[in-house]
Structure 1
């Protein structure tokens, strides 16, 4: 009983609170456009590409504002910044229901871009870093376990809502959830504690510090590695199921294979929690990217046969689950907890810009050169990511 009380009243309460709000934030701000954009486009008389351009604009704005929001979390805490971000998201989602003019629609996605930057993994990781300091890796892993179920909850919930109301009513319902569930949880349930700064090194004053400055070549390699990898899940999320279909896999089977992605993410995160705690996050990231490359090698060697497609979905899901943890843990291990939120924001900027560009760029490649070339191009981004990760040399204490 005392452990339960300590969990509910101590800093670990942040994991429980953020676990709930991450499912809600991802399930409202990130995943629904796949289902909602065709409905919005048809209702407004717009092209689907224009409707999706709004979402891409939101990701660009999210990347541009991420460093500022991360710095605000360092200074004011997630209980302030993420609560405000939930209210901004509620406002933006509600405005989507009434934005009938194309310019107004794009302006709403600018608002939603700020909300994305203030609600998803990066601000949540920054909040945990502020609360737990150098010990934030384990809470981050637990949090990603909850976040892994966001799509599992979001798509069925969105589809259920659409059976009772239209897309406008669904978005108004989402706005109420952000305003009256997420925002209060962030504001009143998140701990306000802040981890003590790491102790100053003792002994020989000339000894090298454990952490490196978040600048120079090392920082560029870290940001470049995660940005290059961001092309992979963002591009494939938009095109992989269609690639399966064009390869002769029937639609029902293709969707079933795609559904393996989520459970594979969660399973990999459970394994990391159980067995990977002693591995340096940099090695975890290297292993994950290498695992994706192995999956691409299967596809290139055997094509989109059913066994290869299943193996690729499982390997890709597992790797993506580990990379999500690494994106929060690698900067903490290399650069330390001081200014962690802003560091995450600076890394998130190119990451989210790449997320916004990848679906359009990969569509261009598919239309002109086919699926095989698209797979090779996507694998090339994995190679760049892996090269950057192996080029990083961590400083010894």
Structure 2
């Protein structure tokens, strides 16, 4: 009998993911210029601070992953909302550069506690057998984070200082996300009690134990390269398009990205239900650098920039899904939180330098060369996922020979 995904859980997580990504990630590029001015830094150095925070936040991910398995994702996300709100307030009131960087580091640690990695683990813990569908539904809702929060942040910033914008965002995390995560934690705890009174349902991974170390390494390389490109482009999306001569239309072009993410997730939900996560991962790995290539070849065309945002958004939308479903398919549901922690650590450690690196590269070798290098790195992710497919075929051939 087919189980139904936990719709109420998905809807609640969808709202908290929109707020979590919008307040802790997408808003930064809009507020960064004024942050740099107030701290008497260049824009490059403000993004260097973000890169350092992402790096240290990434190094904490394995510990957070173990905490998710031990305490439950709901409790971890509840604590994460409180930490996120506190860190945003601390960032707003930071007396100087050292205080600002410290608060920014705590923000990135909190982000790991409340964003996709923890949310996917909650869905796996709540219902392992429906987790793949649940993750697709969740990313469909959360795809509106950039579409909502880029213009919202811009609008707020026309009336408020960046410090006051962060105070508003702290309120959203404290008054909306924290109660929802606490409610989800309570429901998950009740579900765990019911599981212990019956037979627990788990998902087995499709990779053989002897192939898992190589499969994990290839998966992490693929995800890390995609994260590198995504982090570099997304953090700089609006200023990057402005720098290519799109001017005031940059923000409008940027709003294509969010709906494109939703479109890819909706298409996958309706038409791609039978496509394995590895196929989706390979498609996403091709679309992300493909979108950047379109931008390189078409700039400063507005139509070309719209096409870039569309293709890049399609790839990013699928990427968000497969970061949750591919580890589940390859390695199973047992210890999923710990596994996600390791994947997040590798991804964030590699991609932490992306915002600063792209800002530095644009300033010294120009936008076009910077984007060309970014595209080449992104294309290598396709090779990593094709290698996993080859590994699966090799396992299958060995199994067939053993049967003969």
C-alpha change, 1:44 and 1:14, in structure 2 (3 Å) is same
| Equivalences for residues 154-233 of structure 1 within 5 A | 154-190=149-185, 191-192=187-188, 193-194=191-192, 196-198=200-202, 210-213=206-209, 215-233=212-230
Taking the aligned partners of 2:160 and 2:290, their CA distance within structure 1 comes to 44
Shift, 1:348, TM fit: 1.0
Note the 1:72-111 alignment, pairs <5 A: 72-111=67-106
Match of 1:19 among 6, 14, 29: 14
State the Cα distance separating 1:255 from its structure 2 match. 3.2
Alpha carbon RMSD of aligned pairs, Å? Answer: 2.6
8 Å CA contact 1:70, 1:341 repeated in 2: yes
8 A Cα contact 1:134 1:332, kept in partner: no
1:150 deviates by 1.0
- 1:344 and 1:98, CA in 2 relative to 1: closer, same or farther beyond 3 A? same
Mapped partners of 1:244, 1:164: distance in 2:
24
Contact 2:18 2:142 in 1 (8 A): yes
Residue number in structure 1 paired with 2:287: 291
Q: What displacement does 1:287 show?
A: 1.4
Change beyond 3 A, Cα 1:216–1:106: same
Deviation at 1:343, TM superposition (A): 0.8
1:57-116, CA deviations, whole angstroms, 9 ceiling, x for partnerless residues?
A: 221122111122122112221221000011111111111122112212211122212201
The correspondence for 2:140, drawn from 137, 145, 155, is: 145
CA distance in 2, matches of 1:378, 1:302: 16
Per the alignment, residue 271 of structure 1 pairs with 267
Contact 1:74 1:340 (8 Å CA) reproduced: yes
Give 1:296 shift.
Answer: 4.7
Equivalent positions of 1:104-123 (< 5 A) are: 104-123=99-118
1:262 aligns with 2:253: no
- 1:133-191 C-alpha deviation (Å, 9 max, x unpaired): 14201110111111111122223333343355433232222222222221111112343
Determine whether 1:335 maps to 2:331: yes
- 2:382 is matched with 386
Distance 1:286 1:25 in 2: 27
Shift of 1:384: 1.3
Deviates more, 1:111-120 or 1:180-189: 180-189
- Distance apart, 1:326 and its partner CA: 0.8
Structure 2 CA distance, aligned partners of 1:291 and 1:36? 29
- The structure-2 alpha-carbon separation of the partners of 1:105 and 1:321, relative to structure 1 and needing over 3 Å to count, comes to same
Contact residue 28 and residue 235 of structure 2 kept, 8 A = no
**Equivalent in the alignment of 1:205:** none
Q: TM-score, normalised by structure 1?
A: 0.87
Is the helix fraction higher in 1 or 2?
A: 2
The structure-2 alpha-carbon separation of the partners of 1:84 and 1:212, relative to structure 1 and needing over 3 Å to count, comes to farther
Could you give the per-residue CA deviations for residues 192-244 of structure 1, whole angstroms, max 9, x where no partner exists?
A: 124724389xxxxxxxx734449511100000000011121222234555555
Contact 1:265 1:319 in 2 (8 A): yes
Alignment of 1:326 onto 2:330 = no
Q: Matches of 1:199 and 1:165 in 2, distance apart?
A: 49
Deviation, structure 1 residue 282 = 0.3
Q: 1:85 to 1:304 in 2, by over 3 A?
A: same
The one-character-per-residue Cα deviations of 1:14-66 (angstroms, maximum 9, x if unpaired) are: 21111111111112111221222222332343333333333222211221111
5+ residue gaps, structure 2, are 400-404
Match of 1:279, SS state, is coil
Q: Aligned partners of 1:159 and 1:301: how far apart in 2?
A: 29
- Does the alignment pair 1:369 with 2:380? no
Q: TM-score w.r.t. structure 2 length?
A: 0.86
* Closer, same or farther: CA 234–95 of 1 in aligned 2, 3 Å: same
Q: Secondary structure of the residue that 1:198 maps to in structure 2?
A: coil
- Number of aligned positions between the proteins: 381
The secondary structure found in structure 1 opposite 2:286 is: helix
1:234 has 2:231 as partner: yes
- Please state whether the residue corresponding to 1:136 is helix, strand or coil: helix
- Which stretch of structure 1 is more off in the superposition, 128-137 or 294-303? 294-303
